[in-house]
């Protein structure tokens, strides 16, 4: 696997080695020893898989308790994936990193604990798979406003149409009012 640094030091892109020919391909998507030595030591306790249609935006989510680190990838389709640093003591507090993840580029993104995370579906549909370092706890989940100008994310909206959001995401916190991590 290749580990690619981003402008936010704790957020990294992982490019698995893919072996393929005209019959198909094989890639190792996670190996604990490689992840621990090249990215960070973490224990993953939950895997999730979601499917969404074009124009859906999920996020920006994080949990204030049972904070989750996420290793994310797309197995079908294409999304624009974003991580926002919510750690007040960090040099990159309030900054975001965004990247296209797709079934063709096979890239993964490590989103550490202390970050809000979300994605926007650019293809007709997308299947999104991720490993989490802690269990989902909806009572501690926070949604950060996807279009807050204080964060300044440029989402690649399809035909300029506003994204389809859940009620929770429609009513997300402005960055200035959101709970932060120390």
Which of the residues are catalytic?
A: 61, 130
Strands (E), the chain: 2-5, 12-15, 18-21, 24-27, 46-53, 57-63, 70-76, 78-85, 96-102, 108-111, 115-121, 125-132, 141-143
* C-alpha to C-alpha distances, 117 to 18, 34, 63, 134, 138, nearest whole angstrom: 26, 24, 10, 15, 15
Count of alpha carbons within 13 angstroms of residue 107, beta-carbon side: 18
Q: Which two tokens stand for residue 3?
A: 């580990």
SS3 25: strand
Nearest Cα to Cα of residue 75 among 44, 117, 106, 35: 106
SS3 78: strand
SS3 33: helix
């Amino acid at each position: 696997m290749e580990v690619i640094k981003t402008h936010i030091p704790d957020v990294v892109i992982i490019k698995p080695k893919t072996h393929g020919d005209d019959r198909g391909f094989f890639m190792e998507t996670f190996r604990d020893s490689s992840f621990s030595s090249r990215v960070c030591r973490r224990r993953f306790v939950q895997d999730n898989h979601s499917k969404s249609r074009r124009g859906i935006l999920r996020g920006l989510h994080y949990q204030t308790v049972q904070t989750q680190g996420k290793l994310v990838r797309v197995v079908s389709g294409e999304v624009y994936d974003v991580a926002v640093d919510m750690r007040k003591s960090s040099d990159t507090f309030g900054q975001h990193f965004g990247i296209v993840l797709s079934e063709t580029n096979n890239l993964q993104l490590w989103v550490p604990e202390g970050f809000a995370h979300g994605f926007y579906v650019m293809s007709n549909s997308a299947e999104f798979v991720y490993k989490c370092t802690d269990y989902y706890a909806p009572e501690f989940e926070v949604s950060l406003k996807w279009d807050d100008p204080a964060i300044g994310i440029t989402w690649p909206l399809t035909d300029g149409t506003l994204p389809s959001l859940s009620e929770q995401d429609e009513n997300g916190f402005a960055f200035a009012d959101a709970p932060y991590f120390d």
